[in-house]
Amino acid sequence: MANMDPIPVRVFSLNCWGIRYLSKYCSQRYHMIGDMLCKEKHDIVLLQEVWSEKDYLFLKKKLSCTHPYTHYFKSGVIGSGLAIFSKYRIHDTLLYRYSLNGYPYMAHHGDWFGGKAVGMAVLSLGNLTANVYVTHLHAEYNREKDSYLAHRVVQALELQQFIRHTSAGADVVILGGDLNMHPQDLGNRLLRSYTGLRDAYTETPNFDGCEGGVTLIADNPFISKKEIFPFEKGIRIDYILFKGSSRADIRCDSLSTTKGSVADSPFPYSDHEALTAELKLDSCVSAETGNDEAFKTPESSPGNLAELVDIVTEARTEVKVGLHCAERMRYTAARTGVMGLALLFLELLIAAVPWFALGAEQPFPQTSFYLLAALCFAILLTTSLLYIFYTIEIKSLQGAEDQMRLAVGSLHEKLRGFPVTQPQSSSQRSSEGQEPPALDPEE
């Protein structure tokens, strides 16, 4: 086995909060971000919420000397907001748009219009191939009554599937972005348990930043206290995650975050804090293994199988709850549409009265008649669109639930195939000649 010199890689991630005409000091902050990136000269820059392509082009021009390779991931009505800037050549890119992304009628949240997605770029870091991912998941808005929990769980499911299925030929995986999930949230556990991605914050021996690694802090002038309630100091929802392989070992030497307002400026870069991870890549080329066993996922480790089964089962339960809510909303839309149709039919009968009763006058004033007709058509159009939307949501949730059911069954089969040390109760049953109970995939 031959060892190469370690390859240092500085990775930067920031949610730019770049909503033109709505985000405060948007133009000034982009100039600040561009100046900072030119000065710091990170190897890989992962940005989210770059909603305007003009702002992306501004950064592309400004960073042309320090980061000559770049890609902007386009999706949805206003774009995915995802962009990557790199000192290393980008050989290939791929975008996957999440099947669920909020509701179009929640326009004040705006997630649906953004087309949330995960973007992938394939880079060459020395003699190693790195798959670099940048993503932005649906926001939480209200932790006590989270209407988007099922959507975010499905997004986490699709994110881990996308990473696992596209990283088979890579030596290193790096993921950065705004996951909109706390470290121990269900979607976060699902993502990390399935992929084996390691959190830079928990892995690094050297951390310089906000207490607890929080990236949405109370001291940020762009943050409302309601956004982080009941967490007084803030919340950690932005991450840099990484993973090596049999050909490359990766570690995080240090991690830092910004701390609110920038020096010599009255405001910070964004409403989120930026992360910078100092990674080290050690190339280990083995003639025996090569890259055939590049990514042994945690599901191949018997010690984590039981925990993974529990996580997937919990996620499946949340998806079922979301499915029930979607079915109820579709029923409400259908019932309202039927009422609108009945009202329109009644109005047509009233309009036909003069035809059947010769010489009779119209019982309603024409203005009221036309306004009522317009209302009926509006109800029918709105409920029809909502019925179609909820049907699409139901299909996506059903598809995710089916995938989780298959995953639980597959994981349980692997669990039964390993001589894993069972808990005390299971050991007692085994000593009595009884098989440990199988988890029914249909539950």
In a domain, 427, yes or no: no
pLDDT tens for the 443 residues of the chain, in order: 455 688 999 999 999 999 888 899 999 999 999 999 999 989 999 999 999 999 999 999 999 999 999 999 998 778 889 999 999 999 999 999 999 999 988 888 888 888 899 999 999 998 999 999 999 999 999 888 899 999 999 999 999 999 999 999 899 999 999 999 999 999 999 999 999 999 999 999 999 999 999 999 988 999 888 888 889 889 999 999 999 998 999 999 999 999 988 888 889 999 999 999 999 999 876 544 444 444 555 555 566 788 999 999 999 999 999 999 999 999 999 999 999 999 888 877 777 766 666 555 666 677 777 888 888 899 999 999 999 999 999 999 999 999 999 999 999 888 887 654 544 444 444 444 444 444 444 44
User: Measured between alpha carbons, how far is 126 from 123 in angstroms, rounded to an integer?
Assistant: 9
Give a yes or no: residue 422 inside a domain: no
- Indicate whether 406 and 334 sit together in one domain: yes
Domain shared by 168 and 209, yes or no: yes
User: Is 272 known to be catalytic?
Assistant: yes
> Are residues 323 and 262 both part of a single domain?
no
DSSP state string for 200-212:
HHHH-S-EESSGG
39 & 90 share domain = yes
Residue 360 domain-assigned?
A: no
> Which tokens in the block code for residue 266?
């009255």
Catalytic residue from among 67, 91, 272, 324: 272
Q: Is residue 438 part of a domain?
A: no
Instruction: Write down the H helix ranges in 352-436.
Output: 353-356, 366-417, 424-431
Tokens of 197: 């991605």
**Which domain range does residue 336 map to?**
313-354+366-416
| CATH number of the domain residue 230 falls in | 3.60.10.10
* 324 shares a domain with 258: no
Residue 292 lies in a domain: no
Q: Does one domain contain both 338 and 247?
A: no
If one counts every other C-beta atom within 10 angstroms of the C-beta of residue 20, the result is 13
Contact 14, 33 (CB under 8 A): yes
**377 phi and psi angles, rounded to 5 deg:** -65, -40
Tell me if 436 is assigned to some domain: no
Residue labelled with tokens 């310089």: 208
Residue 432 to residue 419: CA distance in whole angstroms: 17
Amino acid 429: pLDDT: 44
- Residue 177, domain member (yes or no): yes
Domain boundary among 283, 304, 330: 283
Helix residue ranges, H only, 167-301: 186-195, 200-203, 225-228
